[in-house]
Structure 1
Protein backbone atom coordinates (compact mmCIF):
# COMPACT_ATOMS: atom_id res chain seq x y z
CA UNK A 1 0.00 0.00 0.00
CA UNK A 2 1.38 3.37 -1.04
CA UNK A 3 0.96 6.44 1.16
CA UNK A 4 1.64 10.09 0.46
CA UNK A 5 4.22 11.65 2.75
CA UNK A 6 1.46 13.43 4.70
CA UNK A 7 -0.61 10.26 5.17
CA UNK A 8 2.44 8.22 6.13
CA UNK A 9 3.51 10.88 8.65
CA UNK A 10 0.03 11.02 10.18
CA UNK A 11 -0.24 7.23 10.47
CA UNK A 12 3.26 6.79 11.92
CA UNK A 13 2.66 9.63 14.37
CA UNK A 14 -0.66 8.08 15.43
CA UNK A 15 1.07 4.71 15.93
CA UNK A 16 3.85 6.36 17.93
CA UNK A 17 1.65 8.41 20.27
CA UNK A 18 -0.65 5.49 21.03
CA UNK A 19 2.43 3.30 21.49
CA UNK A 20 3.88 5.82 23.94
CA UNK A 21 0.57 6.03 25.83
CA UNK A 22 0.37 2.24 26.22
CA UNK A 23 4.07 1.80 27.01
CA UNK A 24 4.12 4.55 29.63
CA UNK A 25 0.92 3.32 31.31
CA UNK A 26 2.33 -0.21 31.43
CA UNK A 27 5.70 0.85 32.85
CA UNK A 28 4.08 3.01 35.55
CA UNK A 29 2.10 -0.04 36.67
CA UNK A 30 5.06 -2.44 36.46
CA UNK A 31 7.33 -0.12 38.46
CA UNK A 32 4.74 0.47 41.19
CA UNK A 33 4.54 -2.73 43.27
CA UNK A 34 1.41 -1.53 45.07
CA UNK A 35 -0.55 -0.88 41.85
CA UNK A 36 -3.64 -3.00 41.24
CA UNK A 37 -6.70 -2.76 39.02
CA UNK A 38 -8.83 -4.03 41.92
CA UNK A 39 -10.42 -0.68 42.86
CA UNK A 40 -11.07 0.10 39.20
CA UNK A 41 -12.79 -3.26 38.68
CA UNK A 42 -14.84 -2.95 41.86
CA UNK A 43 -16.14 0.36 40.50
CA UNK A 44 -17.35 -1.25 37.26
CA UNK A 45 -20.75 -0.52 35.79
CA UNK A 46 -22.79 -1.61 32.82
CA UNK A 47 -23.78 -5.04 31.55
CA UNK A 48 -20.60 -6.84 32.68
CA UNK A 49 -20.38 -5.28 36.16
CA UNK A 50 -20.76 -8.68 37.85
CA UNK A 51 -17.93 -10.25 35.85
CA UNK A 52 -15.50 -7.44 36.64
CA UNK A 53 -16.48 -7.39 40.32
CA UNK A 54 -15.98 -11.18 40.48
CA UNK A 55 -12.47 -10.72 39.06
CA UNK A 56 -11.69 -8.06 41.67
CA UNK A 57 -12.89 -10.24 44.55
CA UNK A 58 -10.78 -13.25 43.54
CA UNK A 59 -7.15 -12.70 44.61
CA UNK A 60 -5.65 -15.31 42.28
CA UNK A 61 -7.57 -13.87 39.33
CA UNK A 62 -6.45 -10.35 40.29
CA UNK A 63 -2.81 -11.44 40.26
CA UNK A 64 -3.25 -12.63 36.68
CA UNK A 65 -5.30 -9.56 35.67
CA UNK A 66 -2.77 -7.11 37.15
CA UNK A 67 0.19 -8.88 35.54
CA UNK A 68 -1.46 -9.21 32.14
CA UNK A 69 -2.74 -5.64 32.22
CA UNK A 70 0.59 -4.02 33.13
CA UNK A 71 2.79 -6.17 30.89
CA UNK A 72 0.21 -6.18 28.10
CA UNK A 73 0.16 -2.38 28.06
CA UNK A 74 3.96 -2.19 28.06
CA UNK A 75 4.47 -4.81 25.34
CA UNK A 76 1.70 -3.48 23.11
CA UNK A 77 3.14 0.00 23.48
CA UNK A 78 6.68 -1.18 22.77
CA UNK A 79 5.56 -3.03 19.65
CA UNK A 80 3.81 0.09 18.34
CA UNK A 81 6.75 2.36 19.23
CA UNK A 82 9.40 0.30 17.44
CA UNK A 83 7.12 -0.89 14.65
CA UNK A 84 7.37 -4.63 15.20
CA UNK A 85 4.33 -6.94 15.21
CA UNK A 86 2.21 -3.81 14.98
CA UNK A 87 -0.92 -5.49 13.64
CA UNK A 88 -0.86 -7.98 16.53
CA UNK A 89 -0.15 -5.08 18.89
CA UNK A 90 -3.07 -3.10 17.47
CA UNK A 91 -5.48 -6.03 17.85
CA UNK A 92 -4.25 -6.74 21.38
CA UNK A 93 -4.61 -3.08 22.26
CA UNK A 94 -8.14 -3.04 20.86
CA UNK A 95 -9.08 -6.04 23.01
CA UNK A 96 -7.59 -4.44 26.12
CA UNK A 97 -9.38 -1.15 25.45
CA UNK A 98 -12.63 -3.03 24.86
CA UNK A 99 -12.29 -4.53 28.36
CA UNK A 100 -11.70 -1.04 29.78
CA UNK A 101 -14.73 0.29 27.91
CA UNK A 102 -16.99 -2.58 29.00
CA UNK A 103 -15.95 -2.19 32.63
CA UNK A 104 -16.76 1.55 32.67
CA UNK A 105 -19.16 2.32 29.83
CA UNK A 106 -20.27 5.96 29.63
CA UNK A 107 -23.95 5.14 29.67
CA UNK A 108 -26.63 7.38 31.16
CA UNK A 109 -27.52 6.58 34.76
CA UNK A 110 -24.23 4.90 35.68
CA UNK A 111 -22.19 6.73 38.29
CA UNK A 112 -18.62 5.85 39.17
CA UNK A 113 -16.56 6.40 42.29
CA UNK A 114 -13.95 8.37 40.36
CA UNK A 115 -15.26 11.20 38.19
CA UNK A 116 -14.32 11.12 34.53
CA UNK A 117 -12.18 13.91 33.12
CA UNK A 118 -14.92 14.91 30.69
CA UNK A 119 -18.58 14.53 29.89
CA UNK A 120 -19.32 11.49 27.78
CA UNK A 121 -22.39 9.87 26.29
CA UNK A 122 -21.75 6.35 24.91
CA UNK A 123 -18.48 7.36 23.21
CA UNK A 124 -15.45 8.20 25.35
CA UNK A 125 -11.67 8.51 24.91
CA UNK A 126 -11.23 4.78 25.39
CA UNK A 127 -13.49 4.00 22.45
CA UNK A 128 -11.83 6.70 20.32
CA UNK A 129 -8.39 5.18 21.02
CA UNK A 130 -9.77 1.72 20.22
CA UNK A 131 -10.87 2.93 16.78
CA UNK A 132 -7.55 4.73 16.28
CA UNK A 133 -5.88 1.35 16.81
CA UNK A 134 -8.20 -0.06 14.16
CA UNK A 135 -6.83 2.58 11.76
CA UNK A 136 -3.29 1.45 12.64
CA UNK A 137 -4.34 -2.15 11.99
CA UNK A 138 -6.08 -1.31 8.70
CA UNK A 139 -3.27 0.90 7.36
CA UNK A 140 0.02 -0.66 8.53
CA UNK A 141 3.14 1.50 8.25
CA UNK A 142 5.79 -0.45 10.16
CA UNK A 143 6.99 -2.12 6.95
CA UNK A 144 7.94 1.38 5.77
CA UNK A 145 8.96 3.09 9.04
CA UNK A 146 9.58 0.56 11.78
CA UNK A 147 11.41 -2.66 12.59
CA UNK A 148 9.09 -4.60 10.29
CA UNK A 149 10.92 -2.90 7.44
CA UNK A 150 13.93 -5.13 8.10
CA UNK A 151 11.77 -8.21 8.51
CA UNK A 152 10.00 -7.54 5.20
CA UNK A 153 13.33 -6.98 3.40
CA UNK A 154 14.73 -10.23 4.80
CA UNK A 155 11.65 -12.18 3.69
CA UNK A 156 11.80 -10.64 0.18
CA UNK A 157 15.46 -11.66 -0.15
CA UNK A 158 14.60 -15.29 0.75
CA UNK A 159 11.88 -15.49 -1.92
Structure 2
Protein backbone atom coordinates (compact mmCIF):
# COMPACT_ATOMS: atom_id res chain seq x y z
CA UNK A 1 0.00 0.00 0.00
CA UNK A 2 1.37 3.38 -0.99
CA UNK A 3 1.11 6.08 1.62
CA UNK A 4 1.15 9.50 -0.05
CA UNK A 5 1.21 11.64 3.10
CA UNK A 6 4.59 11.34 4.81
CA UNK A 7 3.16 13.06 7.91
CA UNK A 8 1.03 9.95 8.44
CA UNK A 9 4.20 7.85 8.51
CA UNK A 10 5.55 9.55 11.66
CA UNK A 11 2.64 8.47 13.93
CA UNK A 12 2.82 4.96 12.45
CA UNK A 13 6.56 4.88 13.13
CA UNK A 14 5.98 6.00 16.72
CA UNK A 15 3.17 3.46 17.19
CA UNK A 16 5.29 0.64 15.74
CA UNK A 17 8.28 1.57 17.90
CA UNK A 18 6.19 1.90 21.07
CA UNK A 19 4.53 -1.48 20.57
CA UNK A 20 7.92 -2.99 19.76
CA UNK A 21 9.28 -1.56 23.00
CA UNK A 22 6.39 -3.13 24.95
CA UNK A 23 7.17 -6.56 23.51
CA UNK A 24 10.93 -6.16 23.92
CA UNK A 25 10.69 -4.96 27.52
CA UNK A 26 8.25 -7.72 28.47
CA UNK A 27 10.51 -10.34 26.89
CA UNK A 28 13.64 -9.13 28.67
CA UNK A 29 11.73 -8.76 31.93
CA UNK A 30 10.67 -12.40 31.75
CA UNK A 31 14.15 -13.49 30.64
CA UNK A 32 15.87 -11.83 33.60
CA UNK A 33 13.23 -12.55 36.24
CA UNK A 34 14.55 -15.50 38.17
CA UNK A 35 12.09 -18.39 38.11
CA UNK A 36 9.62 -16.78 35.70
CA UNK A 37 7.22 -19.29 34.23
CA UNK A 38 3.97 -19.18 32.28
CA UNK A 39 2.66 -21.87 34.64
CA UNK A 40 0.58 -19.54 36.81
CA UNK A 41 -0.87 -17.68 33.83
CA UNK A 42 -1.86 -20.95 32.17
CA UNK A 43 -3.18 -22.56 35.36
CA UNK A 44 -5.58 -19.69 36.09
CA UNK A 45 -6.90 -19.47 32.52
CA UNK A 46 -10.68 -19.54 32.24
CA UNK A 47 -10.99 -18.94 28.52
CA UNK A 48 -11.84 -21.21 25.58
CA UNK A 49 -8.25 -22.49 25.42
CA UNK A 50 -8.26 -23.66 29.04
CA UNK A 51 -8.10 -27.34 28.03
CA UNK A 52 -5.17 -26.71 25.69
CA UNK A 53 -3.34 -24.82 28.43
CA UNK A 54 -3.98 -27.69 30.87
CA UNK A 55 -2.27 -30.08 28.43
CA UNK A 56 0.77 -27.79 28.40
CA UNK A 57 0.78 -27.72 32.21
CA UNK A 58 0.70 -31.52 32.47
CA UNK A 59 3.86 -31.98 30.42
CA UNK A 60 7.14 -30.51 31.66
CA UNK A 61 8.59 -30.45 28.13
CA UNK A 62 5.61 -28.47 26.77
CA UNK A 63 5.76 -26.04 29.70
CA UNK A 64 9.50 -25.46 29.20
CA UNK A 65 8.94 -25.00 25.47
CA UNK A 66 6.14 -22.52 26.21
CA UNK A 67 8.29 -20.58 28.70
CA UNK A 68 11.21 -20.29 26.29
CA UNK A 69 8.94 -19.71 23.29
CA UNK A 70 7.06 -16.82 24.90
CA UNK A 71 10.30 -15.10 25.90
CA UNK A 72 11.90 -15.69 22.48
CA UNK A 73 8.84 -14.44 20.59
CA UNK A 74 8.41 -11.34 22.76
CA UNK A 75 12.06 -10.35 22.23
CA UNK A 76 12.09 -11.18 18.52
CA UNK A 77 8.83 -9.34 17.81
CA UNK A 78 10.08 -6.38 19.82
CA UNK A 79 13.41 -6.18 17.97
CA UNK A 80 11.76 -6.43 14.56
CA UNK A 81 9.18 -3.76 15.36
CA UNK A 82 11.64 -1.33 16.97
CA UNK A 83 14.05 -1.65 14.05
CA UNK A 84 11.33 -1.64 11.42
CA UNK A 85 12.42 -4.83 9.70
CA UNK A 86 10.22 -7.77 8.78
CA UNK A 87 7.43 -5.83 10.45
CA UNK A 88 4.65 -7.74 8.67
CA UNK A 89 6.05 -11.01 10.06
CA UNK A 90 6.56 -9.44 13.50
CA UNK A 91 3.07 -7.95 13.51
CA UNK A 92 1.53 -11.29 12.52
CA UNK A 93 3.45 -13.16 15.23
CA UNK A 94 2.45 -10.48 17.73
CA UNK A 95 -1.22 -10.74 16.75
CA UNK A 96 -1.18 -14.52 17.22
CA UNK A 97 0.57 -14.24 20.60
CA UNK A 98 -1.85 -11.54 21.79
CA UNK A 99 -4.80 -13.62 20.62
CA UNK A 100 -3.59 -16.47 22.84
CA UNK A 101 -3.23 -14.03 25.77
CA UNK A 102 -6.71 -12.65 25.08
CA UNK A 103 -8.32 -16.09 24.85
CA UNK A 104 -6.69 -17.13 28.13
CA UNK A 105 -8.60 -14.41 29.97
CA UNK A 106 -11.36 -13.12 27.69
CA UNK A 107 -13.07 -10.03 29.15
CA UNK A 108 -16.64 -11.23 28.73
CA UNK A 109 -17.64 -10.37 32.28
CA UNK A 110 -18.00 -12.80 35.13
CA UNK A 111 -15.48 -14.17 37.63
CA UNK A 112 -12.62 -14.85 35.19
CA UNK A 113 -12.49 -11.15 34.30
CA UNK A 114 -11.71 -10.31 37.92
CA UNK A 115 -8.17 -11.65 37.42
CA UNK A 116 -7.44 -9.10 34.70
CA UNK A 117 -6.33 -5.55 35.30
CA UNK A 118 -9.01 -2.91 34.88
CA UNK A 119 -12.68 -3.38 34.06
CA UNK A 120 -13.01 -4.43 30.45
CA UNK A 121 -15.92 -5.80 28.51
CA UNK A 122 -14.93 -7.57 25.27
CA UNK A 123 -12.21 -5.05 24.34
CA UNK A 124 -9.03 -4.99 26.43
CA UNK A 125 -5.46 -3.80 25.89
CA UNK A 126 -4.54 -7.03 24.08
CA UNK A 127 -7.20 -6.39 21.45
CA UNK A 128 -6.18 -2.72 21.10
CA UNK A 129 -2.54 -3.70 20.53
CA UNK A 130 -3.61 -6.55 18.23
CA UNK A 131 -5.63 -4.11 16.09
CA UNK A 132 -2.70 -1.68 16.06
CA UNK A 133 -0.43 -4.48 14.84
CA UNK A 134 -2.95 -5.23 12.12
CA UNK A 135 -2.69 -1.63 10.91
CA UNK A 136 1.11 -1.85 11.03
CA UNK A 137 1.09 -5.10 9.05
CA UNK A 138 -1.03 -3.47 6.33
CA UNK A 139 0.66 -0.05 6.11
CA UNK A 140 4.23 -1.22 6.91
CA UNK A 141 5.81 2.06 8.06
CA UNK A 142 9.25 0.39 8.00
CA UNK A 143 9.34 0.86 4.25
CA UNK A 144 9.69 4.61 4.93
CA UNK A 145 11.33 4.72 8.36
CA UNK A 146 13.12 1.53 9.37
CA UNK A 147 15.59 -1.10 8.29
CA UNK A 148 13.14 -2.45 5.69
CA UNK A 149 13.87 0.69 3.66
CA UNK A 150 17.62 0.05 3.82
CA UNK A 151 17.77 -3.75 3.62
CA UNK A 152 15.02 -4.40 1.11
CA UNK A 153 15.21 -1.10 -0.79
CA UNK A 154 11.42 -0.67 -0.58
CA UNK A 155 10.59 -4.07 -2.06
CA UNK A 156 6.98 -5.00 -1.38
CA UNK A 157 7.73 -8.43 0.15
CA UNK A 158 9.32 -7.14 3.35
Q: Same fold (TM over 0.5)?
A: yes
Q: Secondary structure at the match of 2:145?
A: coil
Distance 1:122 1:154, change over 3 A: closer
1:154, CA displacement in angstroms? 8.5
TM-score scaled by structure 2?
0.91
RMSD: 1.8
Whole-Å separation in 2 of the counterparts to 1:70 and 1:37: 10
Contact 1:46/1:107, CA 8 A, preserved across alignment: no
Q: List structure 1 runs of 4+ shifted beyond 3 angstroms.
A: none
1:123-134 equivalences under 5 Å are 123-134=123-134
CA distance in 2, matches of 1:101, 1:154: 34
Deviations 1:78-102 (A, max 9, x none): 0000011110000000000011011
Question: Residue 88 of structure 1 aligns with which residue?
Answer: 89
Shift of 1:151: 1.8
Aligned to 2:108: 107
Contact 1:19–1:79 (8 Å) recurs in 2: yes
Instruction: Measure the CA separation in 2 of the matches of 1:78 and 1:129.
Output: 16
Is the partner of 1:142 in helix, strand or coil?
helix
SS in 1 for 2:42: helix
- Structure 2 counterpart of 1:59: 60
Matched length: 155
Distance in 2 (CA, whole Å) between partners of 1:65 and 1:2 is 38
| CA distance, structure 2, for counterparts of residue 66 and residue 10 of structure 1 | 33
Rounded Cα–Cα distance in structure 2 between residues aligned with 1:65 and 1:32: 16
Q: Deviations over 1:2-58 (max 9, x none)?
A: 242331111001100000000000011112241001000000012221111221232
**Aligned mates of 2:121, 2:71 — CA distance in 1:** 28
